[in-house]
């Protein structure tokens, strides 16, 4: 399944970064660097999908990419040295 999930990457006062999603409020993860925090999203998303399945709750329709063979608009974070 291909999903398009909006993410919010927030620097933390104690260091590191937290990631959340306004579309999936249950999605939370973090990392010591921005790259690590974004990389951890896949595991956090898998946990949210499992939770939704256990609750019999569908994912938001706007998160589902209906045609993965076509172009998909997305933004990503690129960290440079």
- pLDDT surpassing 80 at residue 78: no
Indicate whether 41 belongs to any domain.
Answer: yes
Total number of domains in the chain: 1
Q: How far apart are CA 60 and CA 81, in angstroms?
A: 36
Q: For 8-45, write each residue's pLDDT tens digit.
A: 999 999 999 999 999 999 999 999 999 999 999 999 99
Integer Cα distance of 10 and 30 in angstroms: 9
Decide if pLDDT at 77 tops 80: no
pLDDT digits (tens, 9 = 90+) for 45-58: 999 999 999 999 99
Domain span at residue 1?
1-18+33-65
| pLDDT band with cut points at 50, 70 and 90 for residue 66 | confident
In a domain? residue 75: no
Contact between 40 and 19 (Cβ < 8 Å): yes
The span from the CA of 78 to the CA of 35, in Å, is: 8
Q: Is residue 25 part of a domain?
A: no
For residue 54, tell me if it sits in a domain.
yes
Q: What is the DSSP letter of 67?
A: -
Asked if the structure places residue 39 within a domain, the reply is yes
């Amino acid at each position: 399944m291909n999903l398009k999930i909006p993410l919010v990457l927030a620097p933390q006062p104690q260091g590191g970064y937290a990631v959340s999603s306004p579309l999936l409020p249950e999605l939370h993860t973090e990392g010591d660097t921005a790259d690590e925090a974004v990389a951890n999203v896949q595991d956090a998303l898998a946990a949210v999908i499992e939770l939704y399945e256990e609750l019999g709750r569908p994912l938001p329709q706007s998160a589902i990419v209906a045609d993965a063979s076509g172009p998909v608009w997305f933004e990503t974070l690129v960290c440079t040295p």
